Amino acid sequence: MLEGHISKAFDGALATLHVRVVEMGGLVLDQVREATRAYTEWDSDAAMRVIARERDVNAYNKSIDAEQLLLIARRQPMASDLRAIIAMSKMVAELERAGDEAKKIAKTVLGAGARPGPATSRDARHLGQLAVSLLRLSLEALDSIDLALCAEVIARDKELDAEYAAGLRRLLSRAMEDPRHFDVALEAAFVLKSLERIGDHARNLARHVLTIDGESQRSETNATP
């Protein structure tokens, strides 16, 4: 999808950068899935795997940043190529932040807190599935530069936001019914918030994919009176 630019050598380098961002996204997707399972099943081994693999996410972040700077310095890209490189830099930042949220969830399991009850686990599992689905769709959109998928991700983020709000209301209702579980409810609220933020990062990733094609700029230009 990233062809026809300055030179064949640059096409190859840009395509390699594209693949690297998709690879990082796959790792972050696994982190979110594993962190959700760690919390809902209270699995400390899964949580420890998330913490351990956080180093790999950070390594991707640093190496891709270096590759992007090298591309700009050596190739002095045209506007369309530079737009793609900048967009991918922003995507890496979104993925790194999504990975941080997964790490936060894993740390909840490894902390001194108590295991959530069945109802709270059910809400977290549902929200986690939505976040994973949204992130997976945004990565598919990135992989193929699919603008229709980008639009779907952006639209479906509203569904995740609504489910987050509903889950938070149920959580607070349970906490008020039994104040002894307030600490568990507070931890759970942070977990639900992390999952909601992961959905936001997936949405932002889709928006950055749109800028690779220049679609968002064209839309804004056409909308200008």
Lowest mean pLDDT among 1-5, 119-123, 218-222: 218-222
* 3 found inside a domain: no
What is the mean predicted confidence (pLDDT) over 38-48? 97
* 1 found inside a domain: no
**Cα 120 to Cα 83, 142, 149, 169, distances in angstroms:** 43, 33, 31, 11
* 2 found inside a domain: no
Cβ contact 107:51 at 8 Å = yes
Domain tally, the chain? 1
Query: Quick one: which of 216, 16, 58, 25 has its CA closest to 139?
Result: 25
- 3-state DSSP assignment of residue 49: helix
Checking if the pLDDT of 9 tops 80, the result is no
pLDDT tens-digit profile of 172-199? 998 888 877 788 889 999 999 999 999 9
Q: Please report which confidence band the pLDDT of residue 10 belongs to, taking 50, 70 and 90 as the band edges.
A: low
Given this model, what pLDDT does residue 214 score?
56
Checking if the pLDDT of 217 tops 70, the result is no
CATH of the domain at 37: 1.20.58.220
Cα of 143 vs its chain's centroid, Å: 14
* 111 found inside a domain: yes
Domain that holds residue 215: 8-223
Given this model, what pLDDT does residue 107 score?
96
Checking if the pLDDT of 75 tops 80, the result is no
pLDDT tens-digit profile of 77-135? 778 788 889 999 999 999 999 999 999 999 999 987 788 999 999 999 999 999 999 99
Residue with tokens 């928006």: 207
Cβ contact 181:136 at 8 Å = no
Given this model, what pLDDT does residue 221 score?
36
* 189 found inside a domain: yes
* 103 found inside a domain: yes
